[in-house]
Chains A and B, each alone.
Chain A
Amino acid sequence: MLKLQVKAAIWRALRPMIAALVGLLLGVAITAIAGESPWHVLCVIAKGAFGSTYDLGLTLYYTTPIVLTGLAVALPIKAGLFNIGAEGQLNMGALAVAAVGILCPQVTAPLNIILAVLAGACAGAFWGSIAGWLKAYRGSHEVITTIMLNFIAAGLSGWAVLSLLPSLDSQNPESARIAPSYVLEHFAWFPDAPVTWALPMAVLCAVLVWIFLRFTIPGFKLAAAGLNPEAAQVSGISVRHQQWLALTLGGALAGLVGVAEVMGHSGRFRIGFSPDYGFIGIPVALLARSHPLGLLLSALLFGALQKGTAELDLETTFVTRDLAAMIQAMVVLSVSAEGGLTLWRRRRPAAKSPVQGG
């Protein structure tokens, strides 16, 4: 019996991986249309991602925000919600981090770091909580509201950066520099690559989310609201409150991307800094079946993809880094199709849960 269960669990974890592999290969195969050899493309991506300690450092640099946005998608999935608003949440988070770094230069370490991290998390949480409130208490579909909030966040942060925190030393669309005491030091192991304490922070977040869902009562309530809303409601859990909470916590996690970007890399808010980190979180969460620790691996895969495809601009004639978006899309499609297959063969799922759980 136990053996069977273990076998089923392994199979359950393997299936999305096989599906993701199919999606990845489909995505790379598309390059044949552009007259490139898919094998060459694959080699360029792999070499670009892991070819040297510098490349590996950049891969880890890309992985950091992707872990956070992956968690920002995965946690609401546990409550039955699909958060595609991480992009807006991370913009608000980065704005708050930059604002603290610019406006409070006199705060000393380590208080300043704590302040900036809290600001990023709170701003993201606030942005997520709007969608959460709308979903829970007004019944507005979270997919539409979070997309709209992404556009609103882009507009608001752009305005705030250019009019309230303008850069004095450059003409680029970016904010002023944050105070030097806020800048995180780069790890020496990866020469020239911006790998900082933001990476361990992201990993810590994944562990904390795992503990939260696995071992705490609030985490149990949240997952219960996602697995079977009717049963949860009957046993005294306010499903609405859990929905609100899930999107708020998801927003907080996405908001921490601001720490990695502003304090760990650029030292300022650069408008449009995110290459759609918020959307990359979606395949990352799906591939890991929203498991916070498994998600670390899938984030590394997509971080490598992000770094590796950046090399395509130089190494091939017609294929650009935009290929990453297509590969991500193919992975989402094949993993979701696979999820549908497994889900329906066994049983009809809980009627109202909009996103496949687990």
Chain B
Amino acid sequence: MAVRLFIILFFVLSVLPSSLGAQVRGLIVGPGAERYPIAVSPLKSLAPAKDEARISEEIADTISRDLMLTGWFRVVDRSAYIEDPQRTGITLGTFDFRDWSTIGAEALVKGGFLIEGDGLTVELRLFDVYQAKEMVGKRYTGKVKDFRRIAHKFADEIIFQFTGVPGIFDTKITYVSTAGGRFKEIYTSHLDGSERVQITSNRTINLSPSWSPDGRSLLYTSYKEGKPSLYVFDLFSGKDARFLSSAGLNVGGRWSPDGQSVATTLERQGNVDIYLLDRAGKVVRRLTDDPGIDVSPTWSPDGKRIAFVSNRSGSPQIYIMELGNGKARRLTYSGGYNTSPDWSPKGDKMAYTGRVGGRFHIFTIGADGGDPQQLTSGPADNEDASWSPDGRFILFSSNRAGPYHLYLMQASGENQQRLTASRGDDRNPSWSPRLQ
């Protein structure tokens, strides 16, 4: 239905008479495309309430920031807005589209909210300014403290209306941060850095957090008991439990897409290899058995293959193994050091870190092979790519500005923007699945 709407919108927009005096274009998603101008109005408070000004602005701010992060939209600056949202309506016929077309907006987000105690109801609508039509309207209910999540959900809806695929802002990210100190602890936050929560505080080294497929728990590596072991943290209950602490290295656990297994790297008799564990952390299968290093498994979205790093050819390269028959084939042939693979949820591509000219950069390559695309460049280290759940964006860590921070870019490498600005180093990011 939305795809049809998009196609209709595209054709209608392209045949509108130019006497309107404005450039008419649909949203084109691709390299070098111009950003689509959209206005996001502060929300109307439907009944007086404490905090109403803050909620009104912050919902609009959150939606605006999300749309800007995609690189597909340009949010018209709020200082240019003509109408007072508290004095106009939020439905068709209750406000003037000319107030928006004259400032160059081709789409408009307007809405209202009602606070009752700690409950919040938000109504949000997306309008096509030139067609003077409503594209979609949604009503959300929740607690006042959930206002940001509601904003993210509507941003995802806006993106769905324009591209046919929902956006990825109703998600979380997890990462490791020194936060200016010397200990590496694990944090979660929204993509825009808001609602940051510290997950560990054990004052040692914590690494490689990853998400369960239901988004309810994190699997991570920690030295809190003296040696690198796997732990699981339940985000809802706050419970932390040891997952596996076998003798030797236990690092980099990742859940299978069906949530039934964990692929991880363990050490046996001095040999570092990939193993499969069951949901209780018990080893059920050894996947690699060569004398070199095999590390960093990542699952294909259909759960039938894993990609991993092996130096069996003499240097670290990415390999793909069919879990059915255990056969591995080499994927990367360019460059002498390729590590940290992450399989796109679309299944078609792998992102990884490759060493070029002494520095580290993010690459993508087809899961079937092919020429790798280098997405970052310059005198910096860019590492640990993590795909968005829709496979259209990549989250990664870069020290281009000094300490390591988290950055976002489109899967093409365009629109690279910094996400975090905390003191200290932010590394090992992992993007959650779409939240339930």
Q: Do A and B bind each other?
A: no
Instruction: Give the A-binding residues of B (Cβ under 8 A).
Output: none
